[in-house]
Amino acid sequence: MDLVRASPFFDNLLADGIIEEVYEGLPLCPVLEDSGTMHFILRLCSPGHITILDLLDASAKHALSPALDKYLMDQPRQRVEDILRGSHEYVQATDNALRVYALARAFGLDVVAQVAARQSLSAPLEEWEPSPLVISVMSAADLHTLLQYRMRCSAAAHHAANIVPSPSLTSEGCADNTSTRGIRCVFCTAPKTRSRREGVEFPDAGDCRYLLSIGRSAFHIRTPNSANNEHISLAALDKILHIGDEYKQAPGRRAVCGDLFELLYEATANACSGRVSFRENEARATMKRLVEQMQKDVDTAVVKVPLEVVGRGEGRGQHFS
């Protein structure tokens, strides 16, 4: 009776009372689907536990979604969505996100697919290791959709991170808290006319060679060409300048790791610690806020990127964001 409750098609078929075959007193209804398809549909109609891997394996072997459509089985389809939304894979590692994305697209659950696609952004593309089952379930069109979505997210994340060095003015320009583009160093807040404290020297002209933009803000860093011996190394500078590339490679990454945060702090401390306004504890807190704001901007930019689905789904031809 599970099929009767779950499907108006079978309910109407049996309600007509025209049964051609009977087996052990039960009516037989011929269908074109194979037994594996119908057995799994019966599982979806029953309260037994079904995992993501069960659903993935069955979807790789049988045409489940077309059968659910054919027999008007909304309740089993809703159960598929509940399995995907309720699974820990829905918000976990990249390979699990790929499973959910493949299944969501196969069953036309494009809102679920959008969330899973977003979760897949947390790792670089070269770390993707989809299982043979995922490859079997995911169509070429759906893979293309996912890769195009990733490209747009990468561009949005890289733009929002905005890790860009630009030449600064001389030390007087630095003290005036401006650069040639009107960007201000958040640590050099003293105006030009402000007197120096006794024993505190402003950096020489060569010590503030670059203003590093990060998100909406900027601060000075001392480059390897600086006159002062306390400049950052080429390796450190290279890591700093490639933070934006890391967001481009993995636009779903959640934060700048601790060692990169220390590199950012040391880079600006070497350049701006002589300023009247620079205090170590306050500077660390400020740097933390800058990085957190940049991360929020990156997250916001990525969330706005739609998954442009093509073909079957909850909204054919629509964007989901």
Asked if 180 and 275 sit in the same domain, the reply is yes
Domain extent for 231: 161-299
257 within domain boundaries? yes
**Same domain? 209 vs 266:** yes
pLDDT for res 318:
47
- Comparing 14 with 234, which gets the higher pLDDT? 234
Q: Is residue 175 part of a domain?
A: yes
- The mean pLDDT value for 2-10 works out to 61
Give the count of domains, the chain: 2
Question: Is residue 276 within 8 Å of residue 195, measured between CB atoms?
Answer: no
In-domain check, residue 307: no
User: Comparing 31-40, 107-116, 294-303, which segment has the lowest mean pLDDT?
Assistant: 31-40
Identify whether residues 181 and 117 lie together within a single domain: no
Q: Do 40 and 125 share a domain, yes or no?
A: yes
Determine, yes or no, domain membership for 282: yes
**For residue 311, which amino acid is it?**
G
Instruction: Say yes or no: 120 and 22 in one domain.
Output: yes
* pLDDT tens-digit readout, 102-120: 999 999 999 999 999 999 9
Whether residues 113 and 178 share a domain: the answer is no
In a shared domain, residues 17 and 63: yes
Domain assignment present for residue 305? The answer is no
Are residue 20 and residue 58 in the same domain, yes or no?
A: yes
- Same domain assignment for residues 168 and 134: no
Tell me: do 177 and 71 sit in the same domain.
Answer: no
Chain mean pLDDT for the chain: 76
Over range 6-18, report the average pLDDT.
Answer: 60
185 & 252 share domain: yes
Residue 312 in domain: no
Asked whether residue 111 falls in the same domain as residue 176, the answer is: no
Least confident of 75-89, 129-143, 148-162, 270-284: 270-284
Distance CA 172, CA 206 (A): 11
